[in-house]
Structure 1
Amino acid sequence: MRITVLGGCGAWPVPDQGCSGYLVEHGGFRLLIDPGYGTFQALLRTTAAERVDAVLVSHGHPDHCADLNPLLRARALGPDPCAPLPVHSLPGALGPVLALDSPHMLATAYRLAEFTAGHRFAIGPFTVDARCTPHFVPNAAVRLAAGGSTLVYTGDSGPSPQLDALAAGADVLLAEATFVERVVPDSDSPHLSTAWQAGRCATRTAVGRLVLTHLWPGTDRSAARSAARREYRGAIDVAEPGLTIEPG
């Protein structure tokens, strides 16, 4: 399994990187997870639009799915016809982004495959387990397994026993860390996480490596890493474009 970060900024893109976006590859299969604002150009620096084999979206906020639109446009309107792209999401999550164009324009570009959190399913060579975790809209944290390696991605999530159960023993935990030590405002604390909380989760679940992502624009990356380090002694990365990890 090979994980390439396309973007790791929360809420909106900044000049040096887009929002959430991750390319996960195994056995020649390319799975794009969360094509958020500003990630399509980063994807094109890694592979061609027509070489993406499937998409998985954690939830419907645009910083996690807005660039599904240019990806589908490139596949539908480009010179080489593409097979419909399987797009996996929770029910109804992608309605707004899929409605950006007239239905007939992208009708042959994708095949929507909605899943229910709590069930196991397959995407190419990946076995996927999904759990609902707390956020402002329905969010699916996912555990991907292939070739003896495991990746757990939180999407956007507050602390949750469901997340702890999903992450147990994973090789890599790709964890939302919007804030460094304290969620602001306090009323949002059930729905978002900090780098410090991500470190605690990584220790509780004995993961092999922690990758902090979805940092609020302008956050000091070294401060986020230091907050996580107080709770977790394993390897820690902060997601930024081009970061590549091969678990195991």
Structure 2
Amino acid sequence: MLGGCGAWPAAGEACSGYLLEHAGFRLLLDPGYATLPRLLEQVGAEQVDAVLISHGHPDHCADLNPLLRARALGEDPPPALPVHTLPGALDAVLALDRPGMLKDAYRLHDFTAGTGFGIGPFRVDTWALPHFVPNAGLRLTAGGRSLAYTGDTGPTPDLVDLARDTDLFLAEATYPEHVPAEDSRYLSSALQAGEYAARAGTGHLLLTHLWPGTDPATVLDAARRNHRGRIDVARAGEVIDLDRGAPA
């Protein structure tokens, strides 16, 4: 885990960002604000094999820019980095530098939510989930293990299909219990995440995208009202080994 803050990174924290590894392949999922320094504590920028991004809000993709800079401006630039996302989601981030500066640093692969494809050893299945901008729920499978990730989403029955029988359900939980009316169609609570995890039969619910300053205990308590399985809050630096089912 590289971070788990929603909206902006709290002091000493980072926004959404997750590094997945299987069979030596490293897939970076949603490099939000302040995730690159956390990533570089674990691997070099050139050691990332691909990037997968759920949607275009900067707390989920802003640090793609410094990642590409680190690769393009180094002494021995690596091959172009495959970047998978929804059409147009990264237009703003990729326009931050002068035209052409990073053109050889990445190779953009657009996908449509509702389709499936492969990235290295990972099978990726996608769902269109409700948010302020187009957002893809992502289910990744490799080596007989599965992870479901909501990106950011409002309530929808599709979350049950997304997370059904997965080993790990990484679920947005911006609020502990009550989502403000103006956000209620596009963001979720830990209470709702617990309900969907219970209905989906997921093995491990991991709550993320907490509003900065939220006490993790309050989101855990809310989720536990609906789900009796294992529940944790995403914490920077934590490693989860799905083969062992516990933090490494």
Q: Find the residue that maps to 2:178 and give its secondary structure.
A: coil
Pairwise CA RMSD: 0.7
Corresponding position of 2:98 = 102
Tell me the distance in 1 between the aligned counterparts of 2:162 and 2:83: 22
Amino acid at match of 2:173: A
The one-letter code matched in structure 2 to 1:180 is P
1:88 counterpart = 2:84: yes
Deviation of 1:187 after TM superposition, in Å, equals: 2.2
Amino acid at match of 1:235: R
**Secondary structure of 2:2's aligned partner:** strand
Structure 2: how far apart are the matches of 1:117 and 1:139?
8
Equivalent residues, number: 243
Q: Report Cα offsets for 1:197-216 as digits up to 9, x if no partner.
A: 00001000000000000000
Among residues 151, 164, 181, which one is paired with 2:177 in the alignment?
181
Q: CA deviation at 1:79?
A: 1.1
CA distance in 2, matches of 1:117, 1:124: 19
Question: Which residue matches 2:213?
Answer: 218
Equivalent residue number for residue 140 of structure 1:
136
Q: Distance in 1 between matches of 2:215 and 2:179?
A: 15
- 2:198 corresponds to 1:198: no
1:155 is matched by which residue type in structure 2?
Answer: G
Matches of 1:164 and 1:80, distance apart in 2: 45
1:241 and 1:23 map into 2 onto residues whose CA distance is: 11
Report if the CA contact (8 A) 1:8-1:21 is conserved: yes
1:7 partner letter: G
**What amino acid is the match of 1:158?**
G
Which amino acid is the alignment partner of residue 194 of structure 2?
G
- Structure number with greater CO (CA < 8 Å, separation at least 6) is 1
After superposition, what is the alpha-carbon deviation per residue over 1:96-155, rounded to whole angstroms, capped at 9, x for unaligned?
A: 000001231101000000001111100000000011000000000000000000000000
* Structure 2 gaps, min length 5: 244-248
> Who is 2:237 aligned against?
242
Alpha-carbon offset, residue 190 of structure 1: 0.9
Q: Is the 8 A contact 1:17 1:240 kept in 2?
A: no
1:33 — aligned with what? Answer: 29
**Following the alignment from structure 1 to structure 2, what is the Cα–Cα distance between the partners of residues 188 and 206?**
27
Structure 1 unmatched runs, 5+: none
Residue 219 of structure 1 aligns with an amino acid whose one-letter code is T
How high is the sequence identity, in percent, across the aligned residues? 63
